[in-house]
C-alpha cells in the first residue's frame, strides 16, 4: 500500500480488525451463494466469523460444515459447477489435504475464491507462517495473489471475485496472507460501503451450469489421450488471458475505490541501484528499511509482486532492468538446491533480459521465524558489496538460521 493511500485512510473512520476478520468482512459483503469449509489454524477465525454471520441471518449464504478440507473443496466443486458463487478458506495441511480437488477445481475452470492463510507444511508440525503451502500449489492452475497486510487481504478478496468470474479467465483464485503476522494482528481497516462492493462484483451467472436441464453438460468426465492435452492447453490460455485481463479489472477497482493496485508494486526503484524482491508482509518491513538506508545515502529499493500466478514476467523484468544487484527473498524452500520458488521464477525471467542485475537468493522465515530490520539491512549491505565487486560469493543464503 502506497504512502498516499495510508495518509488518506488515516483521515477515515477505520475499523479495528485482524486480517482474518477483514477477510470475513469481505465475504460478508460479497455474500457468496455457498461456503463449504473446515477450520484450521490460523485460518479458523475466517470461517468461524462467517458462520456466525450466517447463523445471525446477516448473509443468505448456504454454509456447509464438512468433515475435512478434501470434502470442503469437493463441495465447492459441485456448488460452483451448478452455477453458485462459491468460496472457502484454508491453511497449510488443510490445503495439502484438498490437493487432489484443488487441481480438479482449476481443471474444470471453476471460479472459486479461497483465502489461504499461509502456514508451514508439516513436518515437524508447525502452525506458524511460511509460504510452503501455497508455493507447493503454485502449479495447480490457480491464480495466486499475496497480501502485505489486512487491508490488502480485504481488498484482494473483493477483486478476486471479479478476476475469477471474468469470462476470459474462469479460474479459481487463492488470496494469501501471512499466518499470525497479518491474520491475527489488529490494524485499522478501511471498509468499503456494502452497496459499492455489491455493485463492483455484480451478479454471477455461469454460462454452462449443471442445473440447466435444457442445455445439459458434464463436469469431471474421464479424459484420456483424446482430449486431456487440449484441456491443459486451454488452462494455459486462460492463465495468459488472466495476465492481460487482470490489469483492466484492477484499473476499474482502483477508480471505484481510490486505490492503486497493480500486478507488481515498486518502491523507490526509479533511481535505485540495488533492491529486494519479496512477497506479503515482509515487504512492509523492507519498505521501512529502504527509507532508513536512503537517509544514509544508499540507493536502494523494493519490488513487491502482488500476483505470483499468473507470473508477471514482463513487469518484473522492466522493474529490475536498471538495477546492478537484486536479492530475491523466499519464505519457502523448493528443495531443488537451486533456491526458492520466487527466485527461480525471477531468475528464469531475467535470462531473457539484455539488462539484468546480478541476482542472489535468501531463504528466510521458515516455520514462522521472525525477520528483523537488521536482517534486511544485512541483505542490502551484501548487495552493496556485490554491486561494487560484481562478484557473488553465495548464490543462495539462509537468513536468520543457525548454521
Beta strand 86-87 with 34-37: parallel, antiparallel or unpaired? parallel
Same domain, 230 and 268: no
pLDDT tens string 281-296: 999 999 999 999 999 9
The distance from CA 226 to its chain's CA centroid, rounded to whole angstroms, is 34
Provide the domain limits for residue 121.
3-257
Q: In this structure, are 282 and 246 located in the same domain?
A: no
Question: Which of these three, 232, 257, 282, is where a domain ends?
Answer: 257
Number of structural domains (the chain) is: 2
Mean pLDDT of the chain: 96
Quick one: pLDDT band at residue 277, thresholds 50, 70, 90?
Answer: very high
* Statement: residue 7 has pLDDT above 60: no
Is the same domain home to 12 and 76?
Answer: yes
> With bands split at pLDDT 50, 70 and 90, how would you rate the model's confidence at 371?
very high
**Is there a contact between 328 and 277 (Cβ–Cβ < 8 Å)?**
yes
User: Does residue 327 sit in the same domain as residue 302?
Assistant: yes
The mean per-residue pLDDT over the stretch 80-107 comes to 98
Convert 129-153 to b/e letters by CB count within 10 Å (16 or more is b): bbbbbbbbbbebbbbbbbbbbbbbb
For residue 6, pLDDT beyond 70: no
Confidence check: pLDDT of 134 > 60: yes
237 plus 219 within the same structural domain = yes
Are 124 and 237 in the same domain? yes
DSSP sequence for 183-202 = TS-EEEE-PPPHHHHHHHH-
CATH number at residue 270: 3.40.50.920
Residue 221 pLDDT level (bands cut at 50, 70, 90): confident
Contact 145, 176 (CB under 8 A): yes
How far apart, in Å, are the Cα atoms of 247 and each of 4, 122, 307, 325? 21, 36, 11, 28
List the CATH number of the domain containing 215: 3.40.50.970
Domain boundary among 208, 228, 257: 257
Q: What is the pLDDT of residue 1?
A: 57
Same domain, 173 and 270: no
**390 pLDDT higher than 90:** yes
Q: What DSSP element (H or E) covers 87?
A: strand 86-87
In total, the chain counts a number of residues equal to 403
SS3 content of the chain, % helix, strand, coil (to 5): 40, 15, 40
Count of alpha carbons within 13 Å of 247, Cβ hemisphere only? Answer: 10
Same domain, 253 and 332: no
pLDDT of residue 403: 84
Q: Which residues contact 252 (CB under 8 A, 6 or more apart)?
A: 162, 200
The Cα–Cα gap between 225 and 165 comes to: 29
Q: Which of 217-221, 251-255, 389-393 has the lowest mean pLDDT?
A: 217-221
- For residues 280 and 237, state if they share a domain: no
The string of pLDDT tens digits covering residues 198-210 is 999 999 999 899 9
What does the pLDDT read at residue 313? 97
Percent residues over pLDDT 90 in the chain = 94
Q: What's the pLDDT band for 22 if we cut at 50, 70, 90? A: very high
Contact criterion met (CB below 8 Å) for 350 and 359: yes
Cβ neighbourhood burial of 199 (10 Å; 0-12, 13-18, 19+)? exposed
User: What is the band of 112 on the pLDDT scale with cuts at 50, 70, 90?
Assistant: very high
Same domain, 253 and 272: no
Same domain, 274 and 140: no
pLDDT in tens, 28-62: 999 999 999 999 999 999 999 999 999 999 999 99
Taking residues 297-308, report their average pLDDT: 98
Do 276 and 369 share a structural domain? yes
SS3 105: helix
**Domain end marker among 224, 257, 290:** 257
Amino acid at each position: 500500500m502506497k504512502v498516499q493511500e495510508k495518509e488518506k485512510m488515516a483521515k477515515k473512520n477505520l475499523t479495528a480488525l485482524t486480517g482474518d476478520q477483514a477477510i470475513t468482512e469481505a465475504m460478508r459483503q460479497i455474500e457468496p451463494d455457498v461456503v463449504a469449509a473446515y477450520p484450521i489454524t490460523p485460518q479458523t477465525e475466517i470461517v468461524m466469523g462467517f458462520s456466525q454471520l450466517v447463523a445471525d441471518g446477516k448473509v443468505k449464504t448456504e454454509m456447509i460444515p464438512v468433515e475435512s478440507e478434501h470434502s470442503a473443496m469437493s463441495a465447492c466443486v459441485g456448488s460452483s459447477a451448478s452455477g453458485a458463487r462459491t468460496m472457502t478458506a484454508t491453511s497449510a495441511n488443510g490445503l495439502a489435504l484438498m490437493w487432489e480437488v484443488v487441481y480438479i477445481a482449476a481443471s474444470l475452470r471453476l471460479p472459486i475464491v479461497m483465502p489461504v492463510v499461509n502456514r508451514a507444511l508439516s513436518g515437524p508440525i508447525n502452525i506458524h507462517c511460511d509460504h510452503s503451502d501455497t508455493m507447493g500449489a503454485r502449479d495447480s492452475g490457480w491464480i495466486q495473489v499475496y497480501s502485505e497486510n489486512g487491508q490488502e487481504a480485504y481488498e484482494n478478496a473483493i477483486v478476486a471475485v471479479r478476476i475469477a468470474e471474468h469470462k476470459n479467465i474462469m479460474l479459481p483464485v487463492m488470496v494469501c496472507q501471512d499466518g499470525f503476522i497479518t491474520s491475527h494482528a489488529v490494524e485499522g481497516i478501511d471498509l468499503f460501503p456494502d452497496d459499492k462492493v455489491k455493485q463492483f462484483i455484480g451478479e454471477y451467472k455461469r454460462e454452462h451450469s449443471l442445473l440447466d436441464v435444457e442445455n445439459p453438460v458434464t463436469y469431471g468426465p474421464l479424459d484420456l489421450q483424446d482430449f486431456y492435452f487440449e484441456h491443459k492447453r486451454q488452462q494455459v490460455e486462460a492463465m495468459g488471458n488472466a495476465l492481460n485481463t487482470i490489469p483492466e479489472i484492477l484499473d476499474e477497482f482502483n477508480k471505484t475505490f481510490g486505490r492503486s493496485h497493480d500486478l507488481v508494486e515498486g518502491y523507490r526503484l526509479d533511481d535505485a541501484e540495488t533492491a529486494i524482491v519479496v512477497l506479503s508482509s515482509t515487504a512492509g518491513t523492507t519498505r521501512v528499511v529502504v527509507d532508513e538506508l536512503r537517509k544514509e545515502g544508499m540507493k536502494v529499493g523494493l519490488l513487491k509482486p502482488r500476483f505470483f500466478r499468473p507470473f508477471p514476467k514482463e513487469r518484473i523484468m522492466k522493474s529490475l532492468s536498471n538495477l546492478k544487484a537484486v536479492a530475491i527473498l523466499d519464505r519457502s524452500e523448493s528443495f531443488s538446491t537451486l533456491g526458492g520458488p520466487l527466485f527461480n521464477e525471477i531468475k528464469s525471467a531475467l535470462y531473457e533480459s539484455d539488462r539484468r542485475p546480478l541476482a542472489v537468493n535468501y531463504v528466510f522465515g521458515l516455520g514462522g521465524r521472525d525477520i528483523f530490520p537488521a536482517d534486511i539491512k544485512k541483505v542490502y549491505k551484501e548487495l552493496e558489496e556485490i554491486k561494487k565487486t560484481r562478484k557473488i560469493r553465495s548464490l543462495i543464503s539462509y537468513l536468520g538460521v543457525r548454521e
